[in-house]
Structure 1
Amino acid sequence: MIAALALAVAVAALTGHTLVNAYAWLRRPTAGPAEVTEPVAVLLPLRDEAERVTPCLRALLAQRGVPDLRIVVLDDGSTDGTADVVRAVADDDPRLTLLTGVAPPPGWLGKPHACWQLATRTAPEPTVLAFVDADVVLTPYAVAAAVTELRAADAALLSPYPRIVVRTAADRLVQPLLQWLWLTFLPLRAMERSRRPSLAAAGGQFLVLDRAGYLRAGGHAAVADKVLEDIELARAVKRAGGRIALADGSRLASCRMYDTWPQLRDGYTKSLWATFGHPTAAAAVLALLVALYVAPPLLALGALLAGAPVVAAVAFLAYLAGVAGRVASARATGGRAWPDALAHPVSVVVLGWLTVRSYHLRKRRRLTWRGRPVT
């Protein structure tokens, strides 16, 4: 009984923290008309994205509210005709420049090197840099709204997290955990105010940075060998004295990260080891997540079968509190709440399996992404 009650209290407290983050501290840029007068460069790194870059490019070319907008695209060694697709969609639009990337030198991973090339080969120099991934589709005023929020937050880096598009069962199990984890465990207001680099979060799908603050932090050169270059860049900004901010970007952008289960599996596998760091830390975090979100429904079922209805009821309340946290997270970030939240314990188990797989493949030096080794 004491264990079940402790679980219920702990999960309820975390769900309360989710609600505070989601509805009191999370920034929400407006999706309506906005206008900025400063020069902005939208930077798009591409590697073998011919099949899905068109919606992203069309959305970038349709941006409004930024009179001095430049779109710089880097073809990072694509072999599928990505550059030809970019030229066809751009149709000689003078705002778009297509660059040809060079292979990353020793000590660099592919994406940080592509982003660094974009940031340092953009002329004339803009005051704001907006990094966008090929799987992101922006609404017409997204860039203007994000830059406005960046300035309102007095930040050097703003991460307006897109709405994650889910279509398959695997998507629905795994993808919502991204927003749920930082809304549940990261104190957003403290993150913005604190100078501690360890207290940082960011999503690389859509990042908006003050150019001076970006360069002061060393830019992507400071995170050249980092798998989670987005989070590490946010930490570098903090180390350089800049502020960072997270925002709900679900009304500004949508993102379909992976099309298939193998892509999703391998995408998470390549980076989860870097999320947790040392295997001992990963084991501790996963044990906590299992205890809080997987154990309650199992305990409820076991207690019910053992003829302890009160214990079963308390454990079931702990399970429902976890479900409520998932629902709150989904509604706050434009995600799908029902019935996906009911499978939250299964989501945690899948996350655990992906994490174990990540460490296993890293130890065997078999982690790759886009045809390049990760470690």
Structure 2
Amino acid sequence: MSWLLAAAVAALTVHTALNARTLRRPPSTPPSTVDEPVSVLLPLRDEADRLAPGLRSLLAQRGLSRMELVVLDDGSTDGTAALVRALAGDDPRLRLLTGVAPPPGWLGKPHACHQLAAAADPASTVLVFVDADVVLAPHAVAGAVAALRAARAQLLCPYPRIVAGSPGERLVQPLLQWSWLTFLPLRAMERSPRPSLAAAGGQFLVLDRAGYARAGGHAAVRDRVLEDIELARAVKRAGGRIALADGSALATCRMYASWPELVAGYTKSLWASFGSATGAAAVVLLLTGLYVVPPLLAVGGALAGTPPVAAAGLAGYLAGVAGRVVSARATGGRAWPDALAHPVSVALFGALVAGSYRLRRRGRLSWRGRPVVPR
């Protein structure tokens, strides 16, 4: 059984490597200027402490013949709007909107994005949603639009390079890219019309406007905590195509600046990732069996004097570490020594899932001062 476990982990690592080899990589500098009009849309809520680098990078975009930047201040109380005005100066490309509170049935992020899309220049054929914690390279938007068109997709997610500072971030954040590189058949996902076979990250999303409208826009995901993934599914339901890409050459993102902030960010939404508590338990048990049990077998087999068990456990552990290394190198992350702690990362992920369901049962899920309302 222990060798079967090691073989399963090795097979998943091979799949990670195959995905990494075929992963789309948008050009950091497109060969030509993007001629179609593009609206870049930035929702903000209490982002004054980390807004400046990202907004400056948006204002410095190149390679676009026609770009507007629409910013929505979504009820901030920390001076976010004033900072936007100070940073933008008299740049005519930027428009600052004041958002309205979400009506019943809407969550905050989908409603903010809905308002931005409605306010975008009607001539724009591409909508680019960017979060405040994303810092773009000078040709990032142009490169992402070029990749959207090359993929013949209606939605492209170029995942930014995740910046992780604290030990907790370094343990948990790399699981974002590792998970879809390991378990999602990327090119099959692009070809498949199945909405269930979808992934996306809301930090940096590029959409064909017509495809976005056919999918119902953010109104179609108004009550969804994971509105990015649900939007990708809505695009598929409308007959569209989605694609993932390595955006590490285009953008960086530090999602959380501390362990408490990371815990709050994950627990608000992890419960919505699995469909049910039973599904969540099954996934956590599977990941634990694949990636936490092997090193325990290695140590236990060595202490008990059973070399075959120890060897199988070590093989499974090393195969899991190899998968993390492949994922990190494919997406611009840190490989060493962080990959060695992969079993700890998976165990922490399981604890975050349990915490998310616990807070949901108690009705204590919130984000940026707003309750996270279950469906």
Q: What is the match of residue 82 of structure 2? A: 84
Indicate the SS of the match to 1:70: strand
Runs of at least 4 residues of structure 1 off by over 6 A?
Answer: none
Residue 309 of structure 1 deviates from its aligned partner by 1.4
Q: What is the match of residue 187 of structure 1? A: 185
Is 223-232 or 124-133 further displaced after alignment? 124-133
Alignment equivalent of 2:25, drawn from 4, 25, 28:
28
2:69 aligned partner, one-letter code: I
Q: What is the match of residue 242 of structure 2? A: 244
Contact 2:29 2:139 in 1 (8 A): yes
The alignment status of 1:362 with 2:345, answered yes or no, reads no
Q: What is the match of residue 348 of structure 1? A: 346
Alignment equivalent of 2:277, drawn from 279, 290, 297:
279
Alignment equivalent of 2:294, drawn from 293, 296, 321:
296
Separation (CA, whole Å) in 1 of partners of 2:205 and 2:317 = 35
Indicate the SS of the match to 1:236: helix
Residue 315 of structure 1 deviates from its aligned partner by 1.1
Q: After superposition, what is the alpha-carbon deviation per residue over 1:208-241, rounded to whole angstroms, capped at 9, x for unaligned?
A: 0000000100000000000000000000000000
Q: Mark the runs of 5 or more structure 1 residues left unpaired by the alignment.
A: none
Q: What is the match of residue 52 of structure 1? A: 50
Separation (CA, whole Å) in 1 of partners of 2:104 and 2:363 = 17
Indicate the SS of the match to 2:92: coil
2:170 aligned partner, one-letter code: R
- Matched residue count: 372
Residue 124 of structure 1 deviates from its aligned partner by 3.7
Residue 310 of structure 1 deviates from its aligned partner by 2.3
Indicate the SS of the match to 1:254: strand
Q: What is the match of residue 68 of structure 1? A: 66
1:31 aligned partner, one-letter code: S
Separation (CA, whole Å) in 1 of partners of 2:309 and 2:288 = 19
Residue 4 of structure 1 deviates from its aligned partner by 1.1
Q: What is the match of residue 15 of structure 2? A: 17
Indicate the SS of the match to 1:251: coil
Contact 2:159 2:246 in 1 (8 A): yes
Separation (CA, whole Å) in 1 of partners of 2:328 and 2:269 = 23
Indicate the SS of the match to 1:250: coil
Indicate the SS of the match to 1:56: helix
Give me the TM-score of the superposition, normalised by structure 1. Answer: 0.98
Indicate the SS of the match to 2:145: helix
1:12 aligned partner, one-letter code: A
Separation (CA, whole Å) in 2 of partners of 1:317 and 1:32 = 41
Separation (CA, whole Å) in 1 of partners of 2:273 and 2:122 = 36
Give me the TM-score of the superposition, normalised by structure 2. Answer: 0.98
RMSD of equivalent CA atoms: 0.7
2:171 aligned partner, one-letter code: L
Separation (CA, whole Å) in 1 of partners of 2:123 and 2:175 = 37
Q: After superposition, what is the alpha-carbon deviation per residue over 1:316-343, rounded to whole angstroms, capped at 9, x for unaligned?
A: 0110000000000000000000000000
Residue 92 of structure 1 deviates from its aligned partner by 1.2
Identity fraction in percent: 73
The alignment status of 1:117 with 2:101, answered yes or no, reads no
Q: What is the match of residue 310 of structure 1? A: 308
Residue 32 of structure 1 deviates from its aligned partner by 1.9
